[in-house]
Amino acid sequence: MASNNDPFEFREFEEEGNLLDTNRDATTITIEDEDVKRQTKAAGFDPDADDEYPARSDDREELLSGQKKSPPFWTFEYYQKFFDIETHHVKERILGSLLPWPRKNFIQFYLRKNPDLYGPFWICTTLVFAVFISGNISNFMNGKYKPEFRKVTIAATMIFSYAWFVPLALWGFLLWRNNKILNLVSYSFMEIVCVYGYSLSVYIPAVVLCIVPLEWLKWLTMVAAFGLSGSVLVMTFWPALREDHPKVAMATVSAIVLLDVLLAVVCKHAAAVGSACCSSHSRPAQGERFLFMKAARGKSGSSVALLERIGFLRW
Amino acid sequence: MAAEEEASRPFAGLSDVSISEDIPVEGDISVPVGPSRTDEEFSTLDEPVKETVLRDLRAVGNKFIHVLYPRRSSALLRDWDLWGPLLLCVTLALLLQDGTADSDLEGGPQFAEVFVIVWFGSIIITLNSKLLGGTLSFFQSLCVLGYCILPLTVAMVVCRVVLLGASGTVSFVVRLVVVTASFGWSTFASTAFLSDSQPANRRALVVYPVFLFYFVIGWMVLTFSPLKREP
């Protein structure tokens, strides 16, 4: 077989015909596609293989081009691909947002090109109900036995708009900057929604801890929660902003941080409505004016209650 | 023998279908039985209205029993209906009403709020389980979630009765125990029906929203307090 004397010279593979010449009983397998097609055609299949098996040729084209046809956004299947996760994925992502690590960028490490909508949605919903319930409990502990149901709609609006509109704005902003400055790191809208959603998970235990009527504890937990969620967000978005003009980068980072602070303050006040100062974000309802009249006539008794009613009305 | 086998082979698949005794064969078009069926369907026009209403009520009552003693039966799933959930939701919302003249205070949830929470919540949980790849149909899932509110409605009735009698710490503890037990019962009953339709690695993802849903309803039941308790 070797016609050269040099043992290190690369030898071409023999044609199958030559091999068969040396050993007629050897079985040869040809891996080329054309041979397979020829063999299947010879076995009696329809010569127009593409027409008979359009799916096969479609699959081959799709695999070769490296893309899958994604279903249009008005179908159910489009949204199903955002729920392609398992229980342990969700657990890992929540833990990753509770304990941020400088080297582990949330999007690159935990999401890995598989953003989900399950986490952000259910964490937002849980946070809304946690705020509602801890607000009720701190109401009870301060002596007001009526559960204030209106607050849940207001808390829900603010939390959901933080978790969905701020990512939208940020994504648009990053897209605009990417046009001006070539950036190695770019995040899709779903990934940004995912980061924001999971970063809210640290507020759930913080809001539950706000039930305890110690003011310093409430501030401490809120600052800790803001610190953790803020650091997750900043560490995620810094690589995307690093290449940019320093002033723009700084402005964006401080905007992210500021909105987070705002959310922390809103959560704390909504969860701790028992405190005497600004405890209501809703417009003064008819009932509260009615209460004020009752208080003015002295029916509710103490002056503290009167001051509280005035405090309500100021807002 | 061969001829018998030939005759029985087309019907071989039907031998796997077993109808258990506790499911009454009544008024259900989807279960094909035989030629006597069509006679009954024609005659439902002539039957008294009481008969028609009672048939549906019996079906609803039967499903209530399946919720109260959750076993692995598929009666809830196979003949789903939304009468039971509607009945339960309306009862719960009426019981949660404060209903007095002073109620322009920010108070407990109003009728519409309870309705929205129950139905909207059920729809969202159903969508969630379908997106995660569940095999139950939309209305089957709504049916199960609605029927499993029954323990919480019973707890609401008990709470109202307790509040009529006593108020204070003792009644709170009693109410807490009753509501916790019925919340656990509801969650357990609905997961017994729903969890079979999900693959094992996503079961917790489907069960958690159901847990949250019944927790919120249980919370509304627990924190219900009639207005005359104003301090």
Contact list in A for residue B208 (CB cut-off 8 A) is 122
Q: Are A148 and A139 in contact (CB under 8 A)?
A: yes
Q: For residue B115, give both structure tokens.
A: 């309705």
Q: Which DSSP helix (H) or strand (E) runs through A310?
A: helix A303-314
Contact list in B for residue A288 (CB cut-off 8 A) is 105-106
Q: What is the pLDDT of residue A282?
A: 40
With a cut of 90, say whether residue A54 has pLDDT above it: no
Mean pLDDT on A46-52:
45
> Which residues lie closer than 8 Å to B216 by C-beta, 6 or more apart?
A129, B117, B121
pLDDT bucket at A153, cuts 50 / 70 / 90 = confident
Q: What is the pLDDT of residue B122?
A: 93
Closest Cβ–Cβ partner in A118, A129, A286 for B212: A129
Q: What is the pLDDT of residue B125?
A: 92
CA dist list (Å): A91 to A85, A137, B108, B202: 11, 28, 35, 12
> Using the 8-state DSSP alphabet, how is residue B74 labeled?
-
- Cα separation of B110 and B224, whole Å? 11
- Cα separation of B76 and B53, whole Å? 19
Strand segments, DSSP code E, in chain B are none
Q: What is the pLDDT of residue A115?
A: 82
Residue B93 Cα, gap to closest chain A Cα (Å): 14
Mean pLDDT on A119-129:
91
Measured between CB atoms, does B132 come within 8 Å of chain A?
yes
pLDDT bucket at B155, cuts 50 / 70 / 90 = very high
Map out the domains of chain A as residue ranges.
76-275
pLDDT bucket at A37, cuts 50 / 70 / 90 = very low
Nearest CA in chain A to B106: A148
Task: Mean pLDDT check: name the lowest of A11-15, A30-34, A99-103, B92-96.
Answer: A30-34
Residue A88 Cα, gap to closest chain B Cα (Å): 8
Q: For residue A276, give both structure tokens.
A: 């005497």
Q: For residue A42, give both structure tokens.
A: 């010879």
Q: What is the pLDDT of residue A125?
A: 92
Average pLDDT, chain A: 71
Measured between CB atoms, does B131 come within 8 Å of chain A?
yes
With a cut of 70, say whether residue B129 has pLDDT above it: yes
Q: What is the pLDDT of residue B218?
A: 92
In chain A, % of residues over pLDDT 70: 61
> Using the 8-state DSSP alphabet, how is residue A102 labeled?
T
Q: What is the pLDDT of residue A26?
A: 56
Q: What is the pLDDT of residue A233?
A: 86
More reliable by pLDDT, B102 or A207: A207
Q: Do A149 and B109 touch (CB under 8 A)?
A: yes
Mean pLDDT on A61-83:
69
pLDDT bucket at B225, cuts 50 / 70 / 90 = confident
Angle between helices A87-98 and A118-141 (to 10 degrees): 60
Q: Do B113 and A149 touch (CB under 8 A)?
A: yes
- Has this prediction a pTM greater than 0.90? no
Average pLDDT, chain B: 78
Strand segments, DSSP code E, in A84-223 are none
Mean pLDDT on A90-105:
82
Q: What is the pLDDT of residue B78?
A: 77
**Averaging pLDDT over each range in A130-139, B5-14, B31-40, which range is the top one?**
A130-139
Q: What is the pLDDT of residue A149?
A: 64
Q: What is the pLDDT of residue A276?
A: 39
Q: What is the pLDDT of residue A278?
A: 35
Phi-psi category of residue B96: left, alpha or beta, with phi > 0 → left and psi -120 to 50 → alpha: alpha
Q: For residue A288, give both structure tokens.
A: 């509260």
Q: What is the pLDDT of residue A242?
A: 78
More reliable by pLDDT, A95 or B166: A95
Mean pLDDT on B42-63:
82
Q: Do B132 and A83 touch (CB under 8 A)?
A: yes
- Cα separation of A288 and A296, whole Å? 12
pLDDT bucket at B34, cuts 50 / 70 / 90 = low
Q: What is the pLDDT of residue A306?
A: 44
With a cut of 50, say whether residue B229 has pLDDT above it: no
Nearest CA in chain B to A122: B209
Q: What is the pLDDT of residue A218?
A: 87
User: Which residue is it, tokens 């398992």?
Assistant: A86
CB contacts < 8 Å between A and B, how many?
Answer: 75
Q: Are B92 and B153 in contact (CB under 8 A)?
A: yes
Task: Mean pLDDT check: name the lowest of A142-156, B17-31, B54-68, B148-162.
Answer: B17-31
Q: Say which amino acid occupies A225.
A: A
| Count of H-run helices and E-run strands, chain B | 10, 0
Chain A interface disruption, residue of B102, B104, B115, B131, most A CBs within 10 A: B131
Q: What is the pLDDT of residue A93?
A: 85
Q: What is the pLDDT of residue A312?
A: 42
Q: Do B113 and A125 touch (CB under 8 A)?
A: no
Q: Are A116 and A241 in contact (CB under 8 A)?
A: no
With a cut of 90, say whether residue B123 has pLDDT above it: yes
Q: Do A149 and B132 touch (CB under 8 A)?
A: no
Q: What is the pLDDT of residue B176?
A: 92
- Cα separation of A135 and A305, whole Å? 19
pLDDT bucket at B90, cuts 50 / 70 / 90 = very high
Task: Mean pLDDT check: name the lowest of A56-60, A165-169, B93-97.
Answer: A56-60
With a cut of 70, say whether residue B102 has pLDDT above it: no
Mean pLDDT on A224-228:
89
Phi-psi category of residue A113: left, alpha or beta, with phi > 0 → left and psi -120 to 50 → alpha: left
Phi-psi category of residue B116: left, alpha or beta, with phi > 0 → left and psi -120 to 50 → alpha: alpha
Q: What is the pLDDT of residue B99?
A: 43
Nearest CA in chain B to A300: B231
Q: What is the pLDDT of residue A300?
A: 41
> Which residues lie closer than 8 Å to A22 by C-beta, 6 or more apart?
A1
- Cα separation of A222 and A210, whole Å? 8
Map out the domains of chain B as residue ranges.
74-222
Nearest CA in chain A to B203: A87
**Averaging pLDDT over each range in A185-199, B124-138, B143-157, which range is the top one?**
B143-157
With a cut of 80, say whether residue B183 has pLDDT above it: yes
